[in-house]
Amino acid sequence: MDIAAELLAGSRLALSRAITAVENEYDEATAIMQQLYPHTGQAYVIGVTGPPGAGKSTLTDKLVKVYRRQGKTVGIIAVDPTSPFSGGAILGDRIRMNELTLDEGVFIRSMGTRGSLGGLSRKTADVVKIMDAAGKDVIFVETVGVGQSEVDIVKAADTTVVVLVPGLGDDIQAIKAGILEIGDVFAINKADREGAERLKAELNMMLDLDQAKSAWRPSIRQTVANAGQGIEELVATIDEHAAFLGTSGELVRRRTARARNELIALIEEQISHRILKDIAASGQLDALAAALAERREDPYAIVKRLLAAYLR
């Protein structure tokens, strides 16, 4: 049996190998994804993002336990755009989620950049699909908040939980507009610390000012993740958002928009990859670069010519 068939039959090893194939861009990755695609679209995807050390992993660990008690199987993808490590090498998460690694109903995978930040969000989306096809009911994507990269990564999520903590200095100033836009649910974690109430008030004010109002007003919950406080309430809020997405038709709209973006990215990637591979292999790329440097050619004419040749 091949990897995809074994994965669909329930093999954890095949699941792991499929993810590795996508991460490392092995030749068989496309064929695997193609076989799995019809089996995707079943899982509910929850994004968890926020500043470094906010308690995302601790919170995820507690949330996962609630879903496990409900009998749901879970996939966890811990994405660190700042780390070159992958395949479970993010030690802190390993330790914090120690008990979960012993649970057959939970599959955890860490992903780093491996030097290619650009491909990380697309690869994350593929890993979500792989876990989805493997039958995970709920999939968590945890990513550290460092800017545009995590915004792109959480686009794979149905519900995005933004984790904030009091006492980050300028509190609300530190919360970039981008993060406000992606939050469906806000968790003010480390609410045992001073300033949790003030942060909540400030956040509420910013959300009220937000121009791009949609039918869903993001909810704010306070949590103390390491003590397990506020977890059930947070789950209830996530469930409320999921229900809202379903009844309003927003889930279909979001997933359609996501499919559209993924298709565009795939077209761009495959076409440029194909053309670049051809001209690099034939040595043309170097010759063209030299011609440009000496102004014997212009890049617009070159691209026009390459495209014309490709489209023929």
Ligand X SMILES: Nc1nc2c(ncn2[C@@H]2O[C@H](COP(=O)(O)OP(=O)(O)OP(=O)(O)O)[C@@H](O)[C@H]2O)c(=O)[nH]1
Applying CB under 5 A, which residues contact Mg ion? Answer: 56-57
The reply to whether 54 sits near ligand X by the rule CB under 6 A is: yes
56 is an interface residue for ligand X by CB under 6 A: yes
Which of 226, 228, 244, 278 is in the footprint of ligand X by CB under 6 A?
226
Binding segment for ligand X (CB under 6 A), chosen from 15-23, 223-231, 247-255, 267-275, is 223-231
Residue 234 near residue 187 (C-beta atoms within 8 A)? yes
Phi, then psi, of 141 in degrees rounded to 5 = -120, 105
160 counts as binding ligand X under rule CB under 6 A: no
**Interaction of residue 225 with ligand X, rule CB under 6 A:** yes
Contact flag: residue 53 with ligand X (CB under 6 A): yes
The interface with ligand X within residues 58-97 (CB under 6 A) comprises 58, 92, 96
3-state secondary structure string across 97-144: CHHHHCCCCEEEEEECCCCCHHHHHHHHHHHHHHHHHCCCCEEEEEEE
The site partner of 202 among Mg ion, ligand X, none (C-beta below 5 to 8 Å per kind) is none
The two structure tokens encoding residue 119: 């491909």
Residue 65 near which of Mg ion, ligand X, none (CB within 5-8 Å, type-dependent)? none
* Min CB(123)–ligand X separation in Å: 18
Q: For Mg ion, which is the closer residue by CB, 133 or 224?
A: 224
Identify the residue among 10, 41, 52, 84 touching ligand X (CB under 6 A): 52
Distance of CA 146 to the CA centre of its chain: 13
Site string for ligand X, 164-193 (x = CB under 6 A): -------------------------xx-x-
Rank residues 135 and 228 by Cβ distance to Mg ion and give the closer one.
Answer: 228
- Interface residues with ligand X (CB under 6 A)? 52-58, 92, 96, 144, 189-190, 192, 224-226
